[in-house]
Amino acid sequence: MIERSDPALRTGPQPVAPDPGAEPVRAPVPGAAGLAVREAVERPRRSARVIAVFPSAAYLRINGGCEPRVVALVGSDGMRPANSIVVPAGVRQQPFAGVREGDAGWIGDGHAEAGGLRVRVRRWWDPRPVLGPLPEARLRHGAMLLEAALDPRACGLAGHSGPAALASGCASGDLAQAVQAAERIVGLGPGLTPSGDDVIAGMLLSLRLLGEVTAGGARAVWLADWLGAAVTTDAETRTTSLSASLLHCAAAGQPSGEAGAVLRALAGHEALAPAVRRLVASSRYSGADLAWGLLAGSRAVLALNRPSSRLASA
């Protein structure tokens, strides 16, 4: 007689032995994301791949979709680019210890996952700083202080004529010259964000964000619109994936937390010297290059506000 306890005769789902090599299911950690990545995070999930890992950040490139296609997972004490999701752990807690370059991941449905890390976005923050209204005299004073705080030798493109040509074209409102100069330096320089891209990003941020809050700044915003459209077209074919995404953010007026602090300082809302030090110290070249672009952009806003410039553009 066959006993009913015989496994072959049991009905219903059978227990499955655990796979000793399977990855454990981890509970997601809470995160706070910049509005720049809201569409990517809230849409149905898409596959992604880790393109770079550092103690303070891991960068995921989404397969397809809209810009920014690169999303940064950053520690609570690291840099905060506009396209980032901040996790509640600092460098000492090694939040990205289980993440490796080349790992598969995904982003969407309110989550981001890479390697052994899964993040659920609980809060959102707006990378655009509140700046205005901004009197021209205050911006002029801030630009003077920023120039005094910068070491021109620290820029990655020191001695190259491209940044100066870009600054000149923007200050004169010459879109053709500005675009031509930007085309010469986009993707130029070493690193995940080449120096030329950082200069352009700083220029775009100042033109848009300072132009929006300065009387007579409409010409600067117009220039940011067209210059931003020119440099972001097919940007991924001319520079790194991360830098292309950051150029898209800059064109939309979405700075990193460090660049946003310098813009606030230019507008007189906080001390400039500490903000500049934090930005420049954030990376070997990118911080200084961004600061140079912010300075050139602020000067362009002032130049375009001159009566002669406004009459010439009318």
pLDDT, tens digit, 9 for 90 and up, residues 15-53: 444 444 444 446 889 999 999 999 999 999 999 999 999
More confident residue, 210 or 286: 210
- Answer whether 206's CB lies under 8 Å from 297's CB: yes
- CA 311/CA 314 separation, integer angstroms: 5
pLDDT in tens, 186-245: 999 877 899 999 999 999 999 999 999 999 999 999 999 999 999 999 898 999 999 999
Q: Determine the pLDDT at residue 225.
A: 97
pTM (two decimals): 0.88
pLDDT for 307 equals 59
Tens of pLDDT, residues 57-93 = 999 999 987 889 999 999 999 899 999 999 999 999 9
Residue 104 has a pLDDT of 96
Six-digit token string for 10 = 């049991």
Q: Where are the beta strands (DSSP E) in 84-127?
A: 84-86, 104-108, 111-114, 117-125
Would you state the pLDDT for residue 312?
A: 42
pLDDT on residue 15: 42
Domain ranges of the chain: 29-125, 136-313
- State residue 26's pLDDT score: 66
> Where does the pLDDT of residue 8 fall: very low under 50, low under 70, confident under 90, or very high at 90 and above?
very low
Q: Write down the mean pLDDT value for the chain.
A: 89
* DSSP structure string for 147-206: HHH--GGGSTTTT-HHHHHHHHHHHTT-HHHHHHHHHHHTT-SSSSS-HHHHHHHHHHHI
